[in-house]
Amino acid sequence: MRAILDTFSQVFRAIGANKLRSFLTMFGIAWGVASLLLLIGLGEGFRSGQRRSLAEVGDDVIMMFGGTIPALPNQHTGMRPYKLTLADAVAVQSGASHVRNVTALINRGDLKQVSEFSSSGGAVMGTQLSFPMIRHLPIAQGRFFDQDDLAQRRQVVILGQKNNALLFPGHPAIGAFITLNGYRFQVIGVAAKIGRGNNDGDNQKVYVPLTTMMELFPITGENVPEDAITSIQYQPITEKENEDAKADVHRIVAANHGFSPDLKDAWEEWDTIKSNQTVGMIFTAMDFFLGGVGIVTLALGAVGIVNIMLVTVQERTREIGLRKAIGATNRSIMTQFFLEGMILTGLSGFIGIAAAAALMAVLGSLLGNNQMGMDPPRLVPWSAAMAISILTLCGIVAGVYPASVAARLEPVEALRKE
């Protein structure tokens, strides 16, 4: 035990004897570790922020909109626009084997919303009962629509969080009335806040039953079907079946509108599953790149420690010769220099990890959880484990080689060195 304490005492005295050199060596390693962890932490913040933003839209949602059928070679017909219809949504619900939930909706942004206290704008959405199963719409007060609301085409409305504050400032909304382009609607529900930051688009929406919307505020225009809708939104049976689900829906809608489902330019849609996968691939590639940069940085730091330790061996040649002359073994000499390299590497790595964690905690408190597109950076366990593993390897390399050089010195030759 006493020998071990003496060895560590000699190690720390040797490190302290060259304070500036030791500081610069440790700073290089600490900087590399902190940079690696911070960059990966920022990347993971972006990744989780994008996932959360997509989750605010809904789980595994695919949205289809009306499009334009492109002109075909050797045919006299030109480009032809088409509108999705409620019949399309019904056909998808009954005929798409890879689809679990479907909702049709109408989106109108030109309807004036007025209460006895104020007026407001924002989108008016005609929705079905299945809408909350597909889209993220938490209800904070009251209720969502029921079957009777749609069957009887009731004039009832659910307010978004911001529209509630604008139309009923400081007053209860449930049971009160608003008008939409002069039609009187009763408020039966208020949605909770959706999204983060200042993006209030979803919070300024109001929702009415789709049947009521189609009766009072249908989509109109030249060659527009009576049951025209803005969008069909659906979910595949499982996330992995998104392409099969899209193929089913394309086949059904194309048959209803008289064109080939293979015409890629005819489809206007957004697949949130595919978007999420793309984002994941981008940030995984970034993690590999940043991890590679970090490995190279730490390897260069290890080379620096090897050089420093070799210089130290050169400077302390007489000391090594004297110690060996009075009985120090090769093992004890090698242990001392090996521990010096390991302690320099380990201590600087610990400082780098602690500094990165502290900086990410500060950034997290400054950014909060409401920044659009980004969560606060966080210390990723696998990156910390990788840093520790690389540091251990670097410490071994930085300690073993200089230590073996020191241990191989002959006492007589070492004592002759000036």
Q: Is the pLDDT of residue 14 over 60?
A: no
Averaged pLDDT, 349-360: 84
Q: Tell me which H or E stretch contains 165.
A: helix 161-167
Tokens 């890879």 belong to 98
Q: Each residue of 93-124: pLDDT tens digit?
A: 999 999 999 999 999 989 999 999 998 888 99
For residue 76, the model assigns a pLDDT of 54
- What does the block give as tokens for 256? 């209803």
Q: Which residue type is seen at 30?
A: A
Q: Give me the residues paired with residue 159 across strands.
A: 190, 206
Residue 214 tokens, joined? 């189609």
Residues 6+ apart with CB under 8 A from 335: 7, 403
Give the pLDDT confidence score for residue 230 in this predicted structure. 94
For residues 176 and 187, give the distance between their C-alpha atoms in angstroms, rounded to a whole number: 6
- Separation CA 87–CA 66 (nearest Å): 13
Question: What is the C-alpha to C-alpha distance for residues 260 and 270, in angstroms, rounded to an integer?
Answer: 20
User: pLDDT-derived band of residue 415, with 50, 70 and 90 as boundaries?
Assistant: low
Question: If you average pLDDT over each of 18-22, 74-78, 184-188, which comes out highest?
Answer: 184-188
Looking at per-residue confidence, does 33 or 8 come out higher?
Answer: 33
Closest CA to 383 of 142, 45, 9, 2: 45
Residue with tokens 């999705």: 84
Q: Where are the alpha helices (DSSP H) in 18-71?
A: 19-57
Backbone torsion region of residue 223, taken as left when φ is above 0, otherwise alpha when ψ lies between -120 and 50, otherwise beta: left
pLDDT, tens digit, 9 for 90 and up, residues 292-306: 777 777 777 667 777
pLDDT, tens digit, 9 for 90 and up, residues 18-57: 666 677 777 777 887 887 788 788 777 777 777 777 777 7
With a CB cutoff of 8 Å and minimum separation 6, the contacts of 386 are 291, 294
Residue among 352, 351, 373, 377 at smallest CA distance from 364: 377
- Give mean pLDDT, residues 214-243: 91
Spatial separation of the C-alpha atoms in residues 267 and 15, rounded to whole Å:
68
pTM of the model: 0.72
What tens digit of pLDDT does each residue of 44-55 get?
777 777 777 777
- Give the residue among 110, 274, 111 at the shortest CA–CA distance from 178: 111
Length of the chain in terms of residues written: 418
Supply the mean pLDDT for the chain.
81
Which position has the token pair 């080689």? 401
From 52-61, 244-253, 270-279, 398-407, the region with the lowest mean pLDDT = 398-407
Three-state DSSP at 96 gives coil
What is the three-class DSSP state of 361? helix
Q: What is the rounded CA–CA span in Å between residue 348 and residue 345?
A: 5
Structure tokens at 405: 């050089």
Distance (Å, whole) CA 379 – CA 37: 7
Tell which phi-psi region holds residue 305, choosing left (phi > 0), alpha (psi between -120 and 50) or beta. alpha
Q: What is the per-residue pLDDT across 304-347, written as a single tens digit (0 to 9) for each?
A: 777 776 676 666 666 666 666 777 677 777 777 677 777 777 78
Q: How far is residue 140's CA from residue 142's CA, in Å, rounded to a whole number?
A: 7
The sign of the CA dihedral 35, 40, 284, 62 is: negative
DSSP 8-state assignment for residue 227: T
Nearest to 61 by CA among 213, 204, 249, 214: 249
* pLDDT of 407 over the 70 cut: no
